[in-house]
Structure 1
Amino acid sequence: MTEQWRVEFDAEVTFRNGGSLSVQGFRLDSPGPELSDAETGESLVRHLGLLMVGEVAVANRRMIAEPHKGSRGVEVARPAARLVDLSHPIREGMITYPGVPGPEISDHLSREASRSVYGPGTEFNIGRITLVANTGTYVDSPFHRYQNGTDLAGLPLERLADLDAVVVRVAGDGRRAVDRAALLPFDVTGKAVLVHTGFDANWGTDAYFRDHPHLTADAADWLVSQGAALVGIDSLNIDATDGPHRPVHTTLLAAGIPVVEHLRGLEQLPASGFRFHAVPPPVVDFGTFPVRAYAVL
């Protein structure tokens, strides 16, 4: 981190309408290691929001290397944000779910064909993709489960982007069914709840389609009661798939809580204190679509 500086000084402020203000040993953030008396006086006036100032006399000024405290008018240095990609890349023919065909990727206009359309040295590719909505890492809206539910176009961005998030870690504990008890230690109100099972390590293999981790019905009930904003998992399905019922989808989507499945890389995230994004295109009368899910640390 770049070294930060503050200035310590005494000052006498006189006002045009009479009166004065004296400070001794006052400290303010400085944008750098050098600050003149005049600049120090201007910083004091700006920091205190003083009006009708006639003169500022600064004395005993000295520079101190110490972290900024947040003086008005001085930008506080912050570490650069780190972005963590949480989506699986979409490739020709890849299988996301048993029985669901993989995407077909082709050219609508190839680079070669475009040369007859544009001027010399100018070429473009316009691609075509045919895919089932449940491909790769995707988000489910209520319309996925309910005919009259909110579709992708109706989902507010506030439920999909810049969400405070928490990670529920169950990876490595042999747990297949993630129940209410596993969630109880977490404050999930208004947050994206990302369940880290580690099952994404099986992505691209037949093992990904068998004995996958999932949430239980009582976990879904608790998430709704606590006001979770979104729920995601790094597994084949948020529900158990060895039977005909889908209680977790049913409960969460009925409450308007989007579901993100097939996440990856959750081991890279802290337990909390980051923002989560998973935004699909706003397709009308569509319930599910791939997303570029990512976290901002």
Structure 2
Amino acid sequence: MKIIDLTHTISPGMPVYPGTEPPRLEEASTYEKDGFRETLLTMYSHTGTHMDAPAHIFPELTTLDQFSGAQFVGKGLVIDCTDLGEGGRIGMEYLHKAGAPVEEAEFLLFRTGWDAKWGQPEYFGDYPCITEEVAAYLTDSGKKGIGLDTIGLDPVADTDLKLHHQVLATDRFVIIENLTHLEQLGEGLFLFCALPLKYRDADGAPVRAMGILWD
């Protein structure tokens, strides 16, 4: 068994969505003073590698803490879109190219290679995004969620968040953003786990995302 960590490390000064404050990690207790170490974490719920709940967009829909744990674990498949450049759109042809495993997968993770820009201003640029047709397929086919190696499902300039509205309106779907290391997962199915921090009325939460491969 091989476990691939798909998660960016939370740290001060890390990339955050434009307009969001970066996280703060403050020393709260020390070995010298208290005999143990403890850190005060202050951050937004959509910091780093994180998950969006339906309640992120729709106040009457499900929060992450209301989902069962089964929502966050399932068969994953990486869709290779690395041939796309800035402003590219990921259409159904990419799913067709991936073949039969697309139907069996519960999470589709779109690899654009954009995570290579993590920590650079370009990360907030015109990254590739899925089309509305792909979004409709994801929800109509009963997938549990979508994963991305970019900062958002929608283009960063789309303040209306049209794709977020489209997929989260089903109330049985989650979005995982800011994934990394998708290139290590190969072309076949694997077990995908993205476990969010469980807090009350969670509109979103950081996750520790993992891909599990069997020999």
Would the TM-score normalized by the shorter structure come out above 0.5? yes
* TM-score, structure 1 normalization: 0.67
* Alignment correspondent of 1:82: 2
Once the two structures are TM-superposed, the CA of residue 234 in structure 1 deviates from its matched residue by 0.4
* Alignment correspondent of 2:61: 149
Query: Deviation per CA, 1:53-110, whole angstroms, max 9, x where unpaired?
Result: xxxxxxxxxxxxxxxxxxxxxxxxxxxx100000000112323222211111112222
Query: Deviation per CA, 1:25-70, whole angstroms, max 9, x where unpaired?
Result: xxxxxxxxxxxxxxxxxxxxxxxxxxxxxxxxxxxxxxxxxxxxxx
In 1, are the aligned partners of 2:84 and 2:128 still within 8 Å (CA)? Answer: no
* Alignment correspondent of 1:278: 194
Alpha-carbon distance in 1 for matches of 2:154, 2:45: 18
Alpha-carbon distance in 1 for matches of 2:169, 2:181: 28
Query: Percent identity among equivalent residues?
Result: 29
SS at match of 2:191: strand
The structure showing larger relative contact order (alpha-carbon pairs under 8 Å, at least 6 residues apart) is: 2
Kindly indicate whether residue 179 of structure 2 is the aligned counterpart of residue 263 of structure 1: yes
Alpha-carbon distance in 2 for matches of 1:240, 1:295: 26
Larger radius of gyration: 1
* TM-score, structure 2 normalization: 0.91
* Alignment correspondent of 1:247: 162
In angstroms, what is the RMSD of aligned CA positions? 1.5
Alpha-carbon distance in 1 for matches of 2:142, 2:6: 23
* Alignment correspondent of 2:144: 229
In 1, are the aligned partners of 2:105 and 2:189 still within 8 Å (CA)? Answer: no
2:17 equivalent among 78, 88, 97: 97
Poorly superposed stretches of 4+, deviation over 3 Å? none
In 2, are the aligned partners of 1:275 and 1:295 still within 8 Å (CA)? Answer: yes
In 1, are the aligned partners of 2:194 and 2:209 still within 8 Å (CA)? Answer: yes
Alpha-carbon distance in 1 for matches of 2:142, 2:105: 6
Alpha-carbon distance in 1 for matches of 2:2, 2:105: 22
Larger helix share, 1 or 2: 2
1:296 equivalent among 187, 212, 215: 212
- The AA in structure 1 aligned to 2:174 is P
Range with greater deviation from structure 2 (262-271 or 210-219):
210-219
Kindly indicate whether residue 42 of structure 2 is the aligned counterpart of residue 130 of structure 1: yes
Report how many residues are paired.
208
SS at match of 2:195: coil
* Alignment correspondent of 1:166: 77
SS at match of 1:204: coil
In 1, are the aligned partners of 2:6 and 2:181 still within 8 Å (CA)? Answer: yes
Once the two structures are TM-superposed, the CA of residue 173 in structure 1 deviates from its matched residue by 3.6
Once the two structures are TM-superposed, the CA of residue 190 in structure 1 deviates from its matched residue by 5.3
Alpha-carbon distance in 1 for matches of 2:3, 2:212: 5
1:62-77 matches, within 5 Å, as none
Alpha-carbon distance in 2 for matches of 1:281, 1:209: 25
Alpha-carbon distance in 2 for matches of 1:221, 1:147: 22
Residue segments in structure 2 that go unaligned for 5+ positions in a row:
none
Once the two structures are TM-superposed, the CA of residue 194 in structure 1 deviates from its matched residue by 0.4
Residue segments in structure 1 that go unaligned for 5+ positions in a row:
1-80, 115-122
